[in-house]
Every structure is written in structure tokens, then in C-alpha cells.
Amino acid sequence: MAQTEADSSDRAARQGIAKAHDAVSLVAEMLDRAAQAQASDVHFEPTGEQMLVRFRLDGVLHTIEVVPRALADNIIARLKVLGGLLTYRNDIPQEGRIELHDQRRAKLIDRRLAVFPTIHGQRAVVRLFYDEPALSELDQLGFAPGILSALKAVAASSQGVLLLTGPAGSGKSTTLAALLRHIVHCSPGKSVVTLEDPVERHIDGVAQVQITPQGQMDFPTALRSLLRQDPEVLMIGEIRDAQTAQIAIEAGLTGHLLMSTLHSGTPAGALLRLLEMGIEPYQVTSSISAVTSQRLLRRLCDHCKVCDERTRLYRPLGCPKCLRTGFRGRALIAEIVQLDGQLRKAILAKADLEELESILSQRGHMSLRQDGLRLLKEGTTTQEELDKVCSRGV
């Protein structure tokens, strides 16, 4: 009987080692395949009976692998080890970085890990960051000529606030980084400082400060202190609360050019959100230089897209180059609102969203959907993609 128990124990230990080995190999393979496919995120999602491994390709999640449930805990444990997280804590969210040891993948510059507990076990997401020289300059991002000129004019000014809006993953951080590079290039010697959580892209000529979520230096504290550091251009990763918004607006009124992001669906919605945060209407009209909203549309694969003879529009087909999705890469659409007399009067009168949108429509404002039509005519994307990203009438 003792021998049987010993054999059973040895067998269980061997199975445990095998599972751990399988998890190590699987995690390495999935992260490698994700980098090869240029995925922006890798999701490890536990379900009741299995774990799904999904890649976000061009903004859309695709299930790449289905893993037995027995391996799920080992996979999460392996990710935690790679990310320097606490392997014995399964009840709290944790965040970390997975170091890059394979220097052959020079394009991959960083990997961020986030682990979160769910009812089926821990869920992990690895975000991948790439060095993309083609997206480092403002002229290369794909803005329509009118919007590009307006952004350059704001970047050349000595004070004011530029807000970028749009959902997560819409390229706001890329646009801000390109704007900063443009300022450094066109105005060498300017004092340019950023507050970020975390610092995603290193920019030469810019003093970048990383805000630690659990640290004592939060955005309002750091921003107040930085205003005494004689900066000329400030970039805040995101305006998240009323306190940060108030300091940012005051900075824009006192001889600083400040750029940041704000969660809002439209430029008009962003202006109203500032009012809801307690910013006085006169401060909004005096400080805001422009509000830009942007989205990313999936770009048709150049190797397999076909033209519909009836509509003269292109549609996806799918090939090995695009992993059979029909799309490869993404294209930018945007709209920009600069405050004029009529819009300022409406804000001072505390107009609602419908009234602000009506004013913009009457003055011939180019919406996101209208900007997207140029990509449709160029054969860059599809009508379905435009409809999905932009609701009717937007």
C-alpha cells in the first residue's frame, strides 16, 4: 500500500512538472506568434472548461488557441513569473512588464502584463508595443490636410489647451507623441515635459515623467510642481478628474501649451464634460485651442482586396499575408473643432450637446464619417468598417 501511494505521488509530481513545462513552452510560443502577427494585445481568458488565447489584430480579437483548463493556472503562473508579479496572490489585480531578451525582434520594444481575478480563474492580458518609425512623424499619421494644418498651428502657439478624444486604442498616444516630436523639431530649445502613466514611447528632447498609480506623486501633485519648473509645453497622458482638469485649464491660461486626452465620444461632448467637471464656461472658452476626435479603421489587405464591379468599392477576401482576415494595418480618420465666436457664445450660455452639434453642422464641420468617406473612395477600407466605427450621422 505504501509503495502504491508513493507511485501515485511520483506520478502526480511528474504530471505537475509536465504541465509546468507545457505552460512555459505555450506562453513563449503565443508571445512569439503575437509579435510575428503584429498583435497589439494577447488575451489569456479562462472559461468554465478551457482557456482561450486571443490576439487583437488591427483592433479585432481573434481566438488563436484553445487550451485545456488544467493548464490555465500554470499559464498564469508563468506569466506572473515573467512579469515579476506575486505568484501567490490570486485575489488582486496586478500589473508588470515582461522583459525582452530576444534582441532579434528589434521592432518589439515593450510588453506590459495585467492580471485580473474572475469567477473562472485569473485573466491575463499582455499588451505589445512596437517601434514604428512610419508613425513617428505628424505628417505620416494620415490626417486630412485641413486637420493636419490646424494641428500644426496649435503646436506652434505659445499657450492654450489641445484635447484629443476617442476610445482606447484609437491612436491618441501616437498622435501626442508625434506632436511632441514636431514641436521639438520645429522649436528646438523649448522646455517640453510630459506626465504619463506609464511612459510608452521615449522621445528625444522631451523630459518624460512616469506617474506611479500607488505612489504619492499623482497627476495633480506632479502637475502643480511642474508648473514651477518653467515648462513651455506640457503633455498629460489623460485628464481623469476635476482636479487635474482645473490645473490643466489654468496652465493653458497662463502661458503654457498643454496637450492631453479626455474620454469623450465627440469634440462637443468633451467641451461639455469639462463643464461637468466644474470648469467655468469662461475658462473653457478662453483656454481651449482645439479638440480633436479620432478613430482607427481597419485597412484592407493590399494583396487580396477585390473591387466590387457593382458598387466600385473594395471588399476583403483573405490571404496568408493577412492571416485570412482580409485586413492588414489600420488607417486614421479624425475631426477637429476650433472655438469660434458662435461656439464660444453657446458654451458661455451653457448650451446642451444637441445645440453644440447643430452649430458645428451649420458651419460645415467635417465629421468623422465624412472624413472616413475619403478612405472609402481610395479603396483603403470598407463601408461595413466605416459603419462599425462611426455610427450613422456621426
**Cell reading at 202:** 521615449
DSSP per residue, 228-294: TS--SEEEES---SHHHHHHHHHHHHTT-EEEEEE--SSHHHHHHHHHHTT--HHHHHHHEEEEEEE
Cα(42)–Cα(37) distance, integer angstroms: 11
- 335, 267 Cβ separation under 8 angstroms: yes
**Cell reading at 60:** 479585432
Cα(283)–Cα(226) distance, integer angstroms: 21
Alpha carbon separation from 375 to 134, 215, 229, 304 (Å, rounded)? 19, 44, 43, 17
pLDDT confidence of residue 394: 53
pLDDT confidence of residue 102: 64
Cα(183)–Cα(253) distance, integer angstroms: 19
Residue located via cell numbers 496637450: 259
pLDDT confidence of residue 6: 46
- 264, 330 Cβ separation under 8 angstroms: no
Q: What is the mean pLDDT of each run of 10 residues along the chain (394 residues)?
A: 49 48 90 92 94 94 92 95 94 92 69 95 94 86 96 95 93 94 94 88 90 76 87 92 92 93 92 95 96 96 93 92 91 94 93 92 90 94 93 54
pLDDT confidence of residue 108: 87
**Cell reading at 285:** 472658452
Helix (H, G, I), strand (E, B) or coil at 333: strand
pLDDT confidence of residue 153: 96
Helix (H, G, I), strand (E, B) or coil at 190: coil
The model carries a pTM of 0.83
Q: Give 43-91 as a 3 state SS string.
A: EEEECCCEEEEEEEECCEEEEEEEEEHHHHHHHHHHHHHHHCCCCCCCC
CB within 8 A of 179, min separation 6: which ones? 138, 151, 155, 162, 259
Cα(10)–Cα(33) distance, integer angstroms: 34
